[in-house]
Chain A
Amino acid sequence: MKRKDQRAALLILALVAMVGAVLLAMSGLKDRAAYFYAPGDLKAGQVPQGAVRIGGMVEKGSLQRAADGVTIAFTVRDESPNRIRVRYKGIVPDLFKEGSGVVAEGSFGPDGLFAASEILAKHDENYMPPRLDAKKGEHKSESLAK
């Protein structure tokens, strides 16, 4: 093979590999991306399919503990009238409590009950703004992803 031809061949090979990677990524993303919902995003009578994340506030007085000691159920709310009932088996993060923000990963059952596989309570009370001269926009708050 001539030098020029080999370089062209390698170039095309690299291009094909990259295009292949993008296509593979797209097909993977299509069925495995977890979309984010707040209670207000849900339409009546419809539940999202597959793995999703939900986020909102844990409604006061909604937390119930099951008899096995490791399963809990609670309601997530936002400003909308919608509510999501969540069930989770596991150790909740330290910052998880009623009235605070929560992000849960899991999937909806046909009855609208959200079975969480993971609870992420983001550090609500971040102990200080990053800079002493912090302007409003730079204040760090990880409370909730909307």
Chain B
Amino acid sequence: MIAEFGLAALWLAAALSLLQLGFGVAALRGGEGFASSVRPIAVVQAVLVGAAFLALIQLFLRTDLSVALVAENSHSQKPLLYKFAGTWGNHEGSMLLWVTVLAIAGAAVALFERSLKERTLVATLAAQAAIGLGFYAFLLFASNPFARLNPAPPQGNGLNPLLQDPGLAFHPPTLYLGYVGISIAFSFAVGALITRDVGPAFAKAMRPWVLAAWILLTLGITAGSYWAYYELGWGGWWFWDPVENASLMPWLAATALLHSVTVLATRDGLRAWTVMLAVVAFSMSMVGTFLVRSGILTSVHSFAVDPRRGAFILILLALYIGGALILFGARVGTVKEGSTFEPVSREGALVLNNLLLCVILALVFIGTIYPLITEAFGTKLSIGPPYFNSVVGPIALALALAMAAGPLMRWRRDRLFEVVRRLALPGGLMAVALVLVFVLAPGIRVLPLLGLALAFGVGAASLAPLWKRNLRRTPLFIWGMAVSHLGIGVSLAGMAAESAFSKERLVAARLGETVSVGPYAIRFESVDPVAGPNWTAIEGKLTASRGGGSFVLRPQARMFSAPPTETSEAAIATRLDGQLYTVLGKPDGAGRWQLRLWWKPFVTLIWLGGAMVAVGGLLALIGRVRRERRARRAEEGE
């Protein structure tokens, strides 16, 4: 019953989204009375699709094996959290989550957006309904989550063990929510293009969505990186894997959009550019979904893939992005130019930021799809970290420099001399750091050296806008900017330190043997079998000591029963100055076990920085929304 109810709700929601599109178009063509129904339709649609999603959650919690999706992805012995997370830990469920959040976001726009012209809002909601409609069709025709299985199997298939991890249970939905937020920004851009209403009001309406999407993408990428770090047991935190790039590319575009939308909202500049970036950001999130779900690129994260689904997403991508780009080409020439600015100004720095971000985006994009291009000509190759690190690294450092300088520049026009004077202190600090690091670690490579020095400079520069301000009266979004930029500096420091100072040992050790790595001496105590709810494992016991105290690490080699898969569970000890990372390998048959040990100084700063970036975004979001609300109240009070 629940499954049928969910399916019915989904069909109704799809029908409503068609209605929303139709009414929106009719209203834009001058139909009287249509415009007023668009908002309520958006709200009801969200309620229906929300009900469908709740129905699917309920099916998973009950482990209703007569539903094919549950049988394929769940198992009655699975812990409750993963039954819950299993709802979206698969293709159909994640797509349902996608449209659910899309519809809820649409309803939120319909309910709360008051500053935009009504016509532009109707066009936005119509564009949003068009996006939703494509995904409803995808769900209903190519990936029905409520399909029944007859006869029902006695036991389910289980969730991929790699995905049975609290971090990963919430990692994909976070990214998806980010993608959806970007799609709202895209709808705003399309709406504004249709009514030629590209201006500060449009930018202010779009900004909270871009910010929210950007916060979620930041969190998603940070969490995903940490997951790959401790779950894959390879000691690395970023592999430039296609799936990782698929989440990084929308983030880069969203970061650029976030900064250009600020120029548009504050100074009414960069009109066409901002619209273009909204289109690019959305196409990157669609391309990301496509690359992951079509299996067109092989990846360490192997998802169940299906070329038919890939084709479906590709068609949606072609329709939406192609349509938006045609609209862009035809309309943007008729949008009036925004206001001008001098090259040395906040706007100038933000343009530089945008250009560098777009260059990085292009580099990552080309590197990710290059294997596809060459394969079309019959050559198989893979593009790995050597390419990405060497081409992206230097540009990213240049970007960090621009980021340090930007907030210290005035809007519209500034004097170069003044800017240099304001940058003297952070610049000096950077020079000192450069010399210090070089003296203390003479063998250090160029990129980590520059990265460390820049991290200090960026950190100081990002706090500079707070300098000499009354901190209690500083607007929240200025705090947000400072915290986010500082977070980038912190993360940069972590990356540089990790790449420069990591120590690695790979040994075959007997029980009782002691191995040293970095400052630690590690004694290999014992190996024991252990069992969990749906796995068995071999667990090593390692005692690590540095100076006085010692502590125990227990890395495991796990064997899951349903489905049968082996994974290695690294044991990681976090200390203030870094992490000790241990992996238990295979026995060599002669009484020795392979051990892989890393000492990674300050590696945690990478994710701490990422979290700070997200927190800064949150502060900015709260600050912006509050200010808008206050402004509106003041207006209404007059």
A/B touching: CB–CB < 8 A: yes
Question: In the complex, A26→B391 CA distance in Å?
Answer: 10
B338 touches A33 (CB 8 A): no
Output the nearest chain A residue to B591 by Cβ-Cβ distance.
A69
- Which B291-307 residues sit within 8 Å CB-CB of chain A? 295, 298, 300, 302, 304-307
Which residues of chain B are within 8 angstroms of A2 by Cβ–Cβ distance? 340
Which residues of chain B are within 8 angstroms of A14 by Cβ–Cβ distance? 273, 355, 358
Output the nearest chain B residue to A20 by Cβ-Cβ distance.
B359
Tell me if B321 counts as interface (CB < 8 A to partner A): no
Tell me if A22 counts as interface (CB < 8 A to partner B): yes
Tell me if A10 counts as interface (CB < 8 A to partner B): yes
Tell me if A42 counts as interface (CB < 8 A to partner B): no
Shortest CB–CB separation between residue A55 and chain B, in angstroms?
A: 9
Output the nearest chain B residue to A128 by Cβ-Cβ distance.
B157
Query: Which of the candidate stretches A78-86, A108-116, A132-140 sits at the interface with the other chain?
Result: A132-140
B596 touches A90 (CB 8 A): yes
A21 touches B359 (CB 8 A): yes
Query: Which of the candidate stretches B18-26, B27-35, B375-383, B459-467 sits at the interface with the other chain?
Result: B375-383
Query: Which of the candidate stretches B98-106, B362-370, B475-483 sits at the interface with the other chain?
Result: B362-370
Other-chain contact of A70, B157, B382, B507 (Cβ < 8 Å) = B507
- Count of A-B residue pairs with CB < 8 Å: 145
Question: In the complex, A90→B507 CA distance in Å?
Answer: 8
Which residues of chain B are within 8 angstroms of A24 by Cβ–Cβ distance? 359, 363, 391
User: Interface SS of chain B: helix, strand, loop or mixed?
Assistant: mixed
Which residues of chain A are within 8 angstroms of B273 by Cβ–Cβ distance? 10, 14
Output the nearest chain B residue to A127 by Cβ-Cβ distance.
B563
Q: A29-B370, A36-B380 are in contact. Are A91 and B272 (CB under 8 A)?
A: no
Tell me if A59 counts as interface (CB < 8 A to partner B): no
Hey, what's the 0/1 contact readout for A84-114 against B, CB within 8 Å counting as 1? 0000011110110000000001000000000
Q: A17-B355, A34-B384, A65-B588 are in contact. Are A130 and B305 (CB under 8 A)?
A: yes
**A-B residue pairs, 7 tightest by C-beta:** A69-B508, A91-B585, A94-B566, A127-B563, A36-B380, A130-B304, A21-B362
List 21 A-B residue pairs with CB atoms under 8 Å apart, sorted by A's residue number: A2-B340, A6-B340, A10-B273, A14-B273, A17-B358, A18-B358, A22-B362, A22-B366, A65-B589, A69-B508, A70-B506, A89-B506, A105-B382, A123-B302, A127-B157, A127-B565, A128-B563, A130-B91, A140-B305, A142-B302, A145-B298
Q: A21-B362, A28-B391 are in contact. List 18 more A-B contacts (CB 8 A).
A: A17-B355, A21-B363, A25-B362, A28-B367, A32-B383, A32-B384, A32-B387, A35-B380, A65-B589, A69-B508, A69-B592, A70-B506, A70-B585, A105-B382, A128-B72, A132-B149, A140-B305, A142-B302
Give residues in A with beta carbon < 8 Å to B. 1-4, 6-7, 10, 13-14, 17-18, 20-22, 24-26, 28-29, 32-36, 51, 53, 65, 68-70, 89-92, 94-95, 105, 120, 122-123, 126-128, 130-132, 137-138, 140, 142, 145-146
